[in-house]
């Protein structure tokens, strides 16, 4: 297939929306931002064997590439609208592209997201997506809003994707349920929209709870204590990782969860539980924001837990 044929295939299948004045086909897209809304924009790249095992099914790659970008919009409490897709492909494989679009467009349709443009090049498999969404003026949820005394919440369960990846790295079989969580993360859009006006600060968990919550603490000028016994744990993770300390390491530093971590006043706990139940999402209080800096992790016995590695870093400091 030629580059033109690939793009044409994408254009034929891409959805549209009334606010897309001009989509795929010209030199640039023309988009109409609703009155009174702020435009929220985020970009994320996925590279084979860095962000997903190279043997991942094309449909799962398509889903995940979009999901991690929508997760960033969710973390800002933005309603997704448009995405651009820059694809680098080792070869012009129409079957691979169709399967990729199956996963990508399935998730896009769930959130009424239109694919409005992109770029197609030859190179190692890599997908860069730029996602655009809306939030009422000045209502975006930031990392900097956490207040001393806030509850610290997370949606869903933690550590599943990291558990699957750990099994894969060992060369063993990956549990199908853990693999599903790795390949098909759920961007917590509905939960995020329901938290507008309630949550004080939010972030999505891509690099691991300790690293990502750390950004919230730093930008908010606060600290936190986390109760490891309260970390929400799926049954498959508990079954495959019986050792509590190994499991905590996955949940704290494994990454790839794409759950939301947010803080809110304890008085709003009931409202949050109801809001989450209304959008079929679980959310759990795992600790509390403190005025003094630092993150303290408590084991079930109330002793400090020390993490060897805080989270994923593409450019870790070299040993001296």
The structure tokens listed for 109 are: 């349709």
Which positions from 26 through 55 interact with ligand ADP, judged by CB under 6 A? Answer: 26-27
Which positions from 59 through 98 interact with ligand ADP, judged by CB under 6 A? Answer: 85, 87
201 burial via Cβ count (<10 Å: 0-12, 13-18, 19+): buried
Q: Does 275 bind ligand ADP (CB under 6 A)?
A: no
Which residue number, 77 or 129, has a Cβ lying nearer to Mg ion? 129
Query: What is the nearest approach in angstroms of ligand ADP to the Cβ of residue 118?
Result: 3
Q: Does 3 bind Mg ion (CB under 5 A)?
A: no
Coil, helix or strand at residue 54 = coil
Coil, helix or strand at residue 236 = helix
User: Using CA atoms, how far apart are residues 164 and 174, in angstroms rounded to an integer?
Assistant: 6
Give the total of residues touching Mg ion (CB under 5 A).
Answer: 1
Out of 49, 112, 119, 239, the residue judged to bind ligand ADP by CB under 6 A? 119
115 vs 20, 88, 229, 312, CA distance in Å?
A: 9, 17, 42, 29
Q: Measured over all CA atoms, what is the biggest interatomic distance in the chain, rounded to whole angstroms?
A: 62
Q: Which stretch binds Mg ion (CB under 5 A): 115-123, 135-143, 171-179, 205-213?
A: 115-123
Q: Answer whether 210's CB lies under 8 Å from 311's CB.
A: yes
User: Using CA atoms, how far apart are residues 27 and 15, in angstroms rounded to an integer?
Assistant: 18
Query: What is the nearest approach in angstroms of ligand ADP to the Cβ of residue 55?
Result: 22
Out of 119, 239, 246, 313, the residue judged to bind Mg ion by CB under 5 A? 119
Q: Does 239 bind Mg ion (CB under 5 A)?
A: no
Q: Answer whether 56's CB lies under 8 Å from 98's CB.
A: no
> Which residues contact Mg ion by CB under 5 A?
119
> Which residues contact ligand ADP by CB under 6 A?
7, 10, 24-27, 85, 87, 115, 117-120
């Amino acid at each position: 297939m030629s580059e033109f044929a690939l793009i044409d295939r994408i254009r034929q299948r891409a959805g549209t929306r009334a606010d897309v004045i001009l989509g795929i086909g010209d030199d640039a897209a023309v988009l109409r931002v609703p009155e009174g809304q702020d435009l929220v924009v985020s970009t994320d790249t996925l590279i084979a064997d860095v962000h997903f095992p190279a043997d991942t099914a094309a449909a799962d790659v398509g889903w995940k590439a979009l999901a991690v970008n929508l997760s960033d919009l969710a973390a800002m409490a933005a309603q997704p609208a448009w995405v651009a897709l820059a694809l680098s492909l080792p070869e012009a494989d129409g079957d691979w592209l169709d399967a990729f679009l199956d996963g990508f467009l399935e998730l896009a349709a769930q959130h009424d997201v239109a694919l409005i443009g992109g770029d197609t090049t030859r190179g190692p498999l890599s997908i860069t997506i730029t996602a655009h969404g809306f939030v009422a003026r000045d209502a975006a949820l930031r990392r900097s809003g956490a207040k001393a005394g806030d509850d610290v919440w997370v949606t869903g369960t933690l550590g599943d994707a990291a558990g699957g990846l750990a099994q894969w790295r060992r060369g063993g079989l990956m549990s199908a349920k853990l693999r599903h969580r790795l390949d098909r993360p759920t961007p917590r859009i509905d939960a995020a929209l329901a938290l507008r006006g309630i949550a004080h600060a939010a972030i999505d968990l891509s690099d691991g709870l300790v690293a990502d919550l750390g950004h919230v603490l730093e930008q908010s000028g606060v600290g936190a204590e986390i109760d490891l016994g309260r970390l929400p744990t799926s049954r498959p993770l508990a079954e495959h990782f019986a050792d509590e300390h190994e499991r905590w390491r996955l949940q704290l530093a494994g990454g790839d969860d794409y759950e939301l971590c947010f803080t809110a006043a304890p008085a709003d706990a009931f409202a949050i539980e109801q809001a989450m139940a209304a959008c079929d999402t679980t959310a759990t209080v795992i600790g509390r924001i403190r005025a003094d800096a630092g993150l303290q992790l408590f084991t079930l016995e109330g002793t400090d837990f020390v993490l060897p590695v805080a989270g994923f870093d593409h450019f870790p400091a070299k040993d001296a």
